[in-house]
Amino acid sequence: MKEENLLLERLKNYGRSQRYPFHMPGHKRQKRCFCENFPNPYEIDITEIEGFDNLHHPEGILRESMQWAAKVYGADRTYYLINGSSGGILSAICGVSSFGDKIIVSRNCHKSIYHGIILKNLKTEYIYPQIIEKMWITGGISTDDVEKTLEKNPDACAVLVVSPTYDGIVSDIRGIADAAHKRGIPLIVDEAHGAHFSFGGKDAERFFPLSALDCGADLVIQSLHKTLPSFTQTAVLHVKEKYINIEKLEWYLQVYQSSSPSYVLMAGIEHCIFEMEKRGGKYYSEFQERFLRLRKNLSSMKYLKLLDEDVIGEFGVHDLDKSRIVVSCKGTSLSGEKLGELLRKKYDLEMELCGIDYVVAITTIFDTQEGLMRLEKALLEIDKDRNSNDFDDERTGEKEANVFCGEYRPEICMTLSEAMNKKRDRIKISDCAGKISAEFVYLYPPGIPILVPGERIEQEFIEEILRYRQTGLSVQGMADRTSEYLMVCTE
Ligand SMILES: Cc1ncc(COP(=O)(O)O)c(C=O)c1O
């Protein structure tokens, strides 16, 4: 390989470019504030030598560090995760269930949750999020729906919801936790996108929604790397002990994490929490003003629409993460993919996610004033360039992204695990109607499955997938990389 083609060289070039990241990780590649005093990683990259404890059997400095972190967060226990939230989610699901149990789970979950469900051959009872129709994105999970599902499924071992969603939608975690606890079972919250909630200020000054941990959830998993200044793969798992078998949970944490946990990543986790505890309030009050100015100016857009606080109280939305900039282009001739491309090619701005009709920008305390202004200017300019003739009747009349938003509710024919282990065959997607899927189908990002193994494939689903492919969205999960064929169960 030529030296200039090495990954490292490509990353260095990218780092020097003017491309501005509105995506994770939350440090935004800014070499300032507390990234500045982080040493060269080679100097601190060790293994479990004398005096440096062992993450899988912590008795010394790592134990003390995690006990300190638990106090910072108000948890009974906090675990450092070096395999991202994914490792914490797998451990949480396996830690609360026995093989073949039933779990109540919100359908708009990340694929890691489905992987946990497969590993324990769990039966699933889905709760579908409501839909914010004006933008065709998923809303929250209503407490009422959780209550009703618990009523019908008294044998469930746990409730699991994702909050906030990729789009910053927060559900009523306190209500959902109370409902689960009334039945004596724990609530797991995938708060991968809400690690910053824990540092969002106190009471009236609070800029972000309350963390699920402060709302009564029992296991809360947060990706530090998504919204805080921390290395990719760093995350934490918080525990309130009452409904949790700690020994079992800790055993699974060993299973799903490397037996050689990186000291660079662990030091990065501790450093991030330390600095956020010390200076988080200050960072946020400085940045709050910028965020709010950005949001206010973007709310004046005529054709593009910013997801705003007016959704709170409807569609199962309990609260909104204001740092998430969700811009819908529904009804205009732009698709999310085209809008993302325009932002990248013309303005050198990289979004986190381009959906069928919207884009998502992740903003964090490490965004510069200049970066936020570039985003504002670009979106206002794109909006100004639209005009009333720009509405595309064909697209406006379409049934928008309904599969992705959870309107499509496939029949469950067997557990995911059973379907994964059946004999299977590769069939052209257009010929799959009526068959049972043996694999996942999702758009990436956000990685939320539209179809999971064991579900019946309907014509409506096939049409949606073909449409996604035509729109240029990245349809993934299938063994066939061209996403033309799907594995189906043949028994
Ligand atoms: C909602 C949600 N949960 C969990 C994860 C997994 O997090 P990680 O990448 O830290 O493993 C993701 C990743 O994007 C996610 O979007």
> How is 378-424 classified by DSSP, letter by letter?
HHHHHHHH--GGGB-HHHHHS--STTTTT---PPB-S-HHHHHTS-E
Q: Where are the alpha helices (DSSP H) in 228-368?
A: 246-255, 263-298, 336-347
- CATH number at 380 reads 3.90.1150.10
What order of strands is seen across the sheet that includes strand 187-190? 77-81, 235-239, 219-223, 187-190, 156-162, 102-106, 123-127
112: CA distance to ligand 1 center in Å? 7
Digit-coded pLDDT (tens) for 404-414: 556 678 999 99
Residue nearest to atom 7 of ligand 1 (CA): 85
Does the structure show a pLDDT above 50 at 427?
Answer: yes
Structure tokens at 252: 């699974």
Instruction: Name which of 467, 470, 486 is nearest 478 in CA terms.
Output: 486
Indicate whether 225 and 329 sit together in one domain.
no
Digit-coded pLDDT (tens) for 291-305: 889 999 999 999 999
24: CA distance to ligand 1 center in Å? 11
Asked whether residue 327 is assigned to any structural domain, the reply reads yes
CB of 219 closer than 6 A to ligand 1? no
Asked whether residue 15 is assigned to any structural domain, the reply reads no
At 371, phi and psi to the nearest 5? -65, -45
Does the structure show a pLDDT above 70 at 115?
Answer: yes
CB of 84 closer than 6 A to ligand 1? yes
Contact 189, 221 (CB under 8 A): yes
Indicate whether 236 and 93 sit together in one domain.
yes
Count, in order, helices (H) and strands (E) of the chain. Answer: 16, 22
Given ligand 1 and candidates 85, 108, 114, 362, which is best to mutate, with the most ligand atoms within 8 Å of its CB? 85
Given ligand 1 and candidates 226, 258, 360, which is best to mutate, with the most ligand atoms within 8 Å of its CB? 226
295: CA distance to ligand 1 center in Å? 25
Does the structure show a pLDDT above 60 at 243?
Answer: yes
Digit-coded pLDDT (tens) for 326-350: 999 988 889 898 999 999 999 999 9
**Ligand 1 atom closest to residue 446's alpha carbon, by position in its atom list:** 16
CB of 228 closer than 6 A to ligand 1? no
**What is the C-alpha to C-alpha distance for residues 421 and 174, in angstroms, rounded to an integer?**
38
25: CA distance to ligand 1 center in Å? 12
pLDDT value of position 390: 65
Asked whether residue 82 is assigned to any structural domain, the reply reads yes
CB of 90 closer than 6 A to ligand 1? no
Asked whether residue 18 is assigned to any structural domain, the reply reads no
The 10 Å Cβ neighbour count of residue 414 is 17
The model's pTM is 0.94
The 10 Å Cβ neighbour count of residue 344 is 14
In terms of C-beta density within 10 A (0-12 exposed, 13-18 middle, 19 or more buried), how is residue 487 classed?
A: buried
Given ligand 1 and candidates 80, 86, 115, 160, which is best to mutate, with the most ligand atoms within 8 Å of its CB? 86
448: CA distance to ligand 1 center in Å? 10
Indicate whether 378 and 422 sit together in one domain.
no
Given ligand 1 and candidates 223, 236, 353, which is best to mutate, with the most ligand atoms within 8 Å of its CB? 223
**What is the C-alpha to C-alpha distance for residues 143 and 155, in angstroms, rounded to an integer?**
18
**Ligand 1 atom closest to residue 89's alpha carbon, by position in its atom list:** 4
Residue nearest to atom 9 of ligand 1 (CA): 84
Indicate whether 322 and 435 sit together in one domain.
no
Domain that holds residue 359: 287-394
Indicate whether 311 and 165 sit together in one domain.
no
Indicate whether 78 and 125 sit together in one domain.
yes
Digit-coded pLDDT (tens) for 165-220: 999 999 999 999 999 999 999 999 999 999 999 987 776 677 899 999 999 999 99
Indicate whether 133 and 224 sit together in one domain.
yes
- CATH number at 472 reads 3.90.105.10
> Among 46-50, 122-126, 376-380, 480-484, where is mean pLDDT lowest?
480-484
CB of 166 closer than 6 A to ligand 1? yes
Asked whether residue 114 is assigned to any structural domain, the reply reads yes
361: CA distance to ligand 1 center in Å? 16
pLDDT over 70 for what percent of the chain? Answer: 94
The 10 Å Cβ neighbour count of residue 181 is 16
At 229, phi and psi to the nearest 5? -75, 85
In terms of C-beta density within 10 A (0-12 exposed, 13-18 middle, 19 or more buried), how is residue 437 classed?
A: buried
- CATH number at 119 reads 3.40.640.10
CB of 235 closer than 6 A to ligand 1? yes
Asked whether residue 326 is assigned to any structural domain, the reply reads yes
Does the structure show a pLDDT above 90 at 33?
Answer: no
Indicate whether 250 and 300 sit together in one domain.
no
Dihedral of alpha carbons 470, 475, 481, 483, sign: negative
**What is the C-alpha to C-alpha distance for residues 97 and 427, in angstroms, rounded to an integer?**
34
Indicate whether 261 and 364 sit together in one domain.
no
Asked whether residue 9 is assigned to any structural domain, the reply reads no
336: CA distance to ligand 1 center in Å? 21
The pLDDT confidence band at residue 399, using thresholds 50, 70 and 90, is very low
CB of 110 closer than 6 A to ligand 1? yes
Instruction: Name which of 119, 106, 442, 421 is nearest 256 in CA terms.
Output: 119
Long-range contacts of the stretch 386-390 (C-beta < 8 A, 24+): 386/302, 386/303, 386/304, 386/332, 386/334, 390/303, 390/332, 390/333
Dihedral of alpha carbons 102, 106, 112, 114, sign: positive
Asked whether residue 404 is assigned to any structural domain, the reply reads no
pLDDT value of position 464: 84
More confident residue, 60 or 463: 60
Number of domains in the chain: 3
pLDDT value of position 241: 98
pLDDT value of position 137: 85
The 10 Å Cβ neighbour count of residue 98 is 11
Indicate whether 441 and 375 sit together in one domain.
no
Pairing of strands 358-362, 353-354: antiparallel
Indicate whether 81 and 139 sit together in one domain.
yes
110: CA distance to ligand 1 center in Å? 6
85: CA distance to ligand 1 center in Å? 6
Indicate whether 371 and 423 sit together in one domain.
no
